[in-house]
Structures are given as C-alpha cells and as structure tokens.
Amino acid sequence: MRRAILLVAFGASSAQGQNALKGFDALVRQHYPGIPVRWAYTSLLLRERLAQARQKSDSVRKALQRLSFERFTHVAVQPLQTIPGREHGEVCAAVDEAMSRDRLCCQVGVPLLATEEGLHATTQAILRHLPPERTAGEDVVFMGHGAEHQAVSRYADLAQAVYALDPHVHVGAMNGAVLLEDILPRLTSERVWLMPLLSVVGNHALKDMAGQGGTSWRSRVEALGHQCVPVLKGTAEYAGFAEIWLRHLDHAAQTCFEFA
C-alpha cells in the first residue's frame, strides 16, 4: 500500500502567491517526511495559465487519476479553504468520484471554519497576526471572499467571535455574511488597517481590497476620512493559519492512513 498527500488551492499566478503555497508545501513535507506531496488547483483559469507556462496544473480529478496510475492507494486531501462552501463541495465530489472509479482510499481535511474548534483557532490566529505596528484602538478590517452558499454564515460567526475579544477588529466578506457597509459605521480610528482573509494575495486582495478603484474597500474606507493601510499578505503566509490547516490534514491522514 502506498500513501500520498494531495494539497488543494484555488491557485496563484503571482510570485508571492506561489511562494505562499511553496511555504505550506515545505511545512507539510517536514511534518510528513517520506510521504509524497502533490498539488491540485480548483481555478480553471489559473490551471490554463500554469499549463501555458509549462508548470504543473492538475485539477483535483486529474491529480487523483495520476496518483492512482502511479499505484498510490491511500490519499489524504487538504484544501486551503476558509469555509465549506461550493468549492469545497466540488473537491469532495471529485474525491468521491476517484474513490468509486479508482478504488482509492481518501479522506478530505476540512477548511478553516468548518468546525467550532476551527472557528476558535481561526479567531486566535487573527488576533495573533494583527499588524505589529498597530496601536491600541486602531481598527483592523479583514476581507474574506464570501459565497452564495449557506456556509457563508461562518464569516458572521467568526466576526462575532473576533469582535467579542477585540471590538476594533472586524471581519467581513465581499459576498454575503458581513459586508463592508455593515462595518463602516463601526470604524472610529484615524488609521484603519486592511487585511485579506484569503489564502494567497491575488486580484481580490490587490484590486477589490487595496486597489484605487472607487468600489475597492480601501477607497470606501478612505472616502469616510480614514487613513487606510493595506497589508498584502495571505493567510497561508501566517503560521497561525497554516497550523490549523496542518491539524486538519493530520486528522484526515490519521483517518485515511490507518488503513494503509
């Protein structure tokens, strides 16, 4: 029997984003010496870009097919996702298909906010990784992606948990749950920090959060007279968040590999 780990991300086209994924890859390889680690990407557009650049660009289905062809039998799968939304469901569906078609034994690790333990750990990670230059009482706004899925309520749960510990730290999302217009009336400090609640820095962080366009979160905060300071660093670049995904991978691996 042969074991492997499959890590799943939306993808990254920037050097910073790719380095963030490489950093998590190194963490997993150090934690699981001797077990092969592969990657799959859920974004079709980014897979096409990677293919054009002659870089590995497997979907979850293709990555699992490769592992089966190489005679791996047990695969622990960990997506770098925040909520168990539509994208997570698609990963699970691809894994279920591979288990049925290729007779692989697989277990999927959960996203950051899938469980109450994960919610508590993510709350602590947010507070642990606030900007070191931030002074007491300065507002910090985290921007998540959001979703048209019932799991988007996890952002609201996280916002409530964080606010209970520091009322100047706010969690919102671009789509659903807590929106920026819900947060703006609560901003009281002259300087406001903006941070992405996204695994890697991409267009959402660069344009929707920190961009100069009139609809960006930065522009909307500055329009109210605040000085806005974006922090362009994805959650996969912070130890506190990476450790949560690693613990979720541990649970998946323990469940899957005990049969190996």
Q: Where in the sequence numbering do the catalytic residues fall? A: 145
Give 170's strand partners. 141
The conformational region for residue 168 under phi > 0 = left, psi -120 to 50 = alpha, else beta, is: alpha
The rounded distance, in Å, linking the Cα atoms of 107 and 228 is 42
Map residue 210 onto helix, strand or coil.
Answer: coil
The residue among 188, 153, 145 whose CA lies nearest residue 168 is: 188
The rounded distance, in Å, linking the Cα atoms of 191 and 171 is 17
The rounded distance, in Å, linking the Cα atoms of 230 and 241 is 19
The residue among 231, 124, 138 whose CA lies nearest residue 190 is: 138
